Amino acid sequence: MRQTLTLATACINTTPLDLDGNLALIRQAVDAAATMGADLLLCPELSLTGYGCEDMFFVADWLDALPAQVAALADELPEHMLLAIGLPLHFPGGQVFNAVALLSRGQIHGLVCKQHLARNGIHYEPRWFTPWPAGHVTQLSYAGRELPVGDLVFDVSGVRLGFEICEDSWVASRPGRTLFERQVDVILNPSASHFALGKQQQRSQFVREGSRAYGAVYAYTNLLGCEAGRAVYDGDAMVASNGELVMIGERLSFSPLKVYSATVDLQINRAQRLISSQPMLPGHADGIASVDFVWAGEPYLRALSAPCTLPAEDEHAEACRAVALGLWDWQRKTWTGGYALSLSGGADSALCGALVFFAQVQAYASLGESAYLAQLAKGRFEIGARGVDEAPLLWLKRAVMPQILTTLYQGSEYSGSVTRDAAAGLAAGIGSQHHAWSIAPLIDGYLQLANALTPDDPLNWQRDDLALQNIQARVRAPGIWLLANRGNKLLIATSNLSEASVGYCTMDGDTSGVLSPIGGISKSRVLQINRYILEQGIPLQQGEVLGIARLALAEMAAIVNQAPTAELRPVEQTDEADLMPFPVLDAIRRISQTQHLTPKGVLQQLLRSPFAQQYSVATLTGWLRRYYGLYCRNQWKRERIAVSFHIEADSADPKTYRRFPVISSQLKRELDEMDAFAASL
Ligand SMILES: Nc1ncnc2c1ncn2[C@@H]1O[C@H](COP(=O)(O)OP(=O)(O)OC[C@H]2O[C@@H]([n+]3cccc(C(=O)O)c3)[C@H](O)[C@@H]2O)[C@@H](O)[C@H]1O
Ligand SMILES: Nc1ncnc2c1ncn2[C@@H]1O[C@H](COP(=O)(O)OP(=O)(O)OP(=O)(O)O)[C@@H](O)[C@H]1O
Ligand SMILES: NC(=O)CC[C@H](N)C(=O)O
C-alpha cells in the first residue's frame, strides 16, 4: 500500500459552456501534473462545463452529450494518474446533480454527488441541482458503462479517497464525518467559491480542520478568474496534512491555469485516526467502491512537502487584483477593443482607470511578453514593438494603453481646472488615449428646449435641483458611448458599492455602461485604495519581469487630495453632505446586508460601535432613515446598474447577492419601530 502520495491541484479559468476551451485547459493541467509526478490531479467544481452555466443546466440534450467527452478524456490520461473532475450529472429522465467523476486511463470509476447545495451569498444552486442524500449509493449507466454513483468512497489499492464538494465543507454536518467512519485517507474538495475579502482565511480553517479532525490529507482547489462576468474566483489551492497546511497556491493569477502539487504522508494521518476519540466501526463497507487502478511505485526518495503558513491578507491589494483580473478576463473573453471611460478627475473614475492599467501590467508580468501579445492579437489590437532598450512599463504606457483605454473629460460650467488637470494627469500616468471636451453647449441646448415649453417659468436651481443635476450626468453618456462604439470598446460605469446601495447616481447618466468594475467596493475603500496606489503601490505577481515589485501612480496625488464632489451644482457640493459620512453609510450597509437586520437591529449595532461616541442617537437614526429611504426607493436602479464584481463581503447586486422587492412598504413600519426604540433610550 502506498505510504505517500503526490497530489496535484488545478485552478482553471473556465468559461461557461466552452467545453472545448475548458477541456483544453484540463488536458494542459494533466500534462503539468504528470511532469510533477502527481498520482492524482484534482480539478475544480463543474470545471468541465464551467460553474456559471445558469439555465443551460436544464437542457437535457446538452447535458447528455457530456459523458462521451468524459470518456474521451479518460482515454488520454497517463498510466498512473487519477483525475477528479467536476461536472453536472443528469439522470436520464430525472434530475441533475452537481457531481465529480473519478477517472484513470480508459476508465470512469464512479461519480460522487454534492450533498449541500450552495444557496447563500451569490449562489443559487438549488435552482438547477438536487441535493444528494447522505449515505445513498446507486448504479447508473454512464458513457456506456455501469457506474456507482452517490455518497461514495473510492478504495484505490488500499488508499481511500472521499469528496466534499465546495459547500459540503462549509456546513456543520459536513460529509467528512462519515468519510472518517469509512477510513478515508484523502479528502478532495473541488470548489467554485467566489472571491470576497477574507474568504481565504475561512477556507483554510475547514481545510486544516478537515485534515486534523478526520485524520486525512485534505486537498482543496478553486476555480480561477472571472468565469461568467460577475463573480471572480481566486484560484485558491491548499493541501493540509496532519492538520497543517503543506501547500498554498498563488491566488488571483492571470495565468489561465495554475497547477500545484504536494507530497504528503498518509501514515501520519492514519495515526491520527488510530488515536481519535470518535468511534469508527470496523469493516464499514457501505458506499465503498473498489477501484481497479495501480499506483506508481512508492517514491522513497521524494521529500514530503513542508508545513507552511497562510500569508497575511493585504485587503487593498486583493481588491485591486480581483478587479483587475475581472477586467482582463472581460477583455479577453469578449474579444472587444478594450475600454472607454468618462474620466472626471474624481475618485471613482480614477480608480477604474488605474485598475485597467494594472490589469495590463499584471497580465504582461504573469503571461510574459509573447503570450501577452498573442492574447492582444486575438483582440485584433495592433501593438507597436517594444524598443530594444525600452522598459516594459514604459512600452505598456506608450504603445499598449492608448489602444486599450480611451478616457474622456467632459467639463460643464460647474467643473473646475482642478478636476480637469487631475484627469489629464492620471491619463498621462496610465497612458490612456485621453480627450477633453465641454458639455456646456449640450446642456444649454437642452435647457433652451425645456424652457421653450414653459417660457414664463424657466428651470431654476431652487426648485429643479435634481433635474438640473441629472441632465448634466445624462448628457455625458452619449458622448462616451459614441467613443466606445467607435472603438468597439466596453463602456465602464464608475458606480461604487456605497453609491449603488442607495442609488446615489443618475440612471442612464453616470450609471451608463457595460461593466462597473468597482461596483463591489465601498466608497470608503475606494478612497483608501487611491491613497494606497499613490503611497505604496499595488504589489505585482512576477513583478521581476518588469523590474518592479509594486505599481504606484504618483498622478493619484491630484485625485487623493480632493473631497469627493459630483460637480453637478453651481454651489460647492460634497457627496457626504448629500448623504452622510461614508464610513457610517458603509457600516449601515454592511451590517444590514450581512447580518440581515431590521433598521432597529442596525441601530442597536451602531450604538455598540465607536460611532456612538461620535454621533448622537438622533443623528444616527436620521442617517438610518436616509439610508433606508434611498435603499428602498432605488431598488429599480440597482436592478439596472451595470454588472459588477463581488469584492467586499456583501454586494448590491440584485441578480446575485442582494434581493429586495422593487416596490415595497419602504420599511415604514420597521423605521417607526426604530424611532420608537430610539425614543425609549
Ligand atoms: N419612490 C420612488 N420609487 C421608485 N422610483 C422613484 C421613486 N421616486 C422617484 N423615482 C424614480 O426615480 C427617478 C429619479 O432617478 P434619477 O433620475 O436617476 O435621479 P435621482 O435618484 O432623483 O437623483 C440622482 C441622485 O444621484 C446623485 N448623483 C448623480 C450623479 C453622480 C453622483 C455621484 O456623486 O456619483 C451622484 C445626485 O446628486 C442625486 O442625489 C424619478 O424620475 C422617478 O422616475
Ligand atoms: N467632468 C467630467 N468629465 C468626465 N466624466 C465625468 C465628469 N464628471 C462626472 N463624470 C462621470 O460621471 C461619474 C460620476 O461622477 P462623480 O463626480 O460622482 O464621480 P467621480 O468623479 O468618479 O468620483 P467622486 O464621486 O469621488 O467625485 C464619474 O465617475 C465620471 O465617469
Ligand atoms: N460552490 C459552492 O458551493 C460555494 C459555496 C461556498 N459557501 C462559498 O462561498 O465558497
**pLDDT tens profile 556-597:** 999 999 866 666 677 766 888 999 999 999 999 999 999 999
The cell for 652 is 448590491
**489 is annotated as an active-site residue:** no
**3-class SS at 33?**
helix
Indicate which atom in ligand 2 lies nearest the CA of residue 527: 26
pLDDT at residue 498, as a whole number = 97
Residue 507 banded pLDDT, cuts 50, 70, 90:
very high
pLDDT digits (tens, 9 = 90+) for 251-298: 999 999 999 999 999 999 999 999 999 888 776 667 999 999 999 999
**Which-ligand-closest: CA of 200?**
3
HSE-up (13 A, CA, CB side) for residue 287? 24
Extended beta strands in 80-125, E state: 82-90, 96-104, 107-113
End-to-end, the C-alpha distance of the chain in Å comes to 69
Per-residue model confidence (pLDDT) at position 80: 96
Q: What number is the average pLDDT over the span 304-326?
A: 97
Where are any strands of DSSP class E within 207-311? 217-222, 224-225, 233-234, 237-241, 244-248, 257-265, 288-291
d(CA 156, CA 152): 12
- 54 labelled catalytic: no
Up-side HSE of residue 621: CA atoms within 13 Å toward CB? 17
What is the average pLDDT across 476-482? 98
CA distances from 458 to 451, 452, 571, 653 (A): 5, 8, 19, 38
Instruction: For residue 548, give the amino acid letter.
Output: I
390 among known catalytic residues: no
Which whole number is the average pLDDT over 403-423? 94
Rounded to an integer, what distance in angstroms lies between the CA atom of residue 400 and that of residue 396?
5
Pocket test for ligand 3, best of 129, 191, 204, 207 (most atoms within 8 A of CB): 191
- Of 567 and 672, the structure prediction assigns the larger pLDDT to 672
Three-class HEC string of 581-637: CHHHHHHHHHHHHHHCCCHHHHHHHHHCCCHHHHCCHHHHHHHHHHHHHHHHHCHHH
Question: Is the CB of residue 466 less than 8 Å from the CB of residue 489?
Answer: no
User: What's the pLDDT at 416?
Assistant: 82
**Mean of pLDDT values over 340-360:** 98
**Whats the size of the chain, residue-wise?**
681
Cα 544 to ligand 2 centre (Å):
35
Sorted by where each starts, the structural domains of the chain and their CATH numbers stand as 4-291 (3.60.110.10), 315-575 (3.40.50.620), 580-681 (1.10.10)
Which of 339, 343, 348 should be mutated for ligand 2, with most atoms under 8 A from CB?
348
Proximal ligand: closest to the CA of 174: 3
Q: Which of 42, 137, 45 is nearest to 88 (CA)?
A: 45
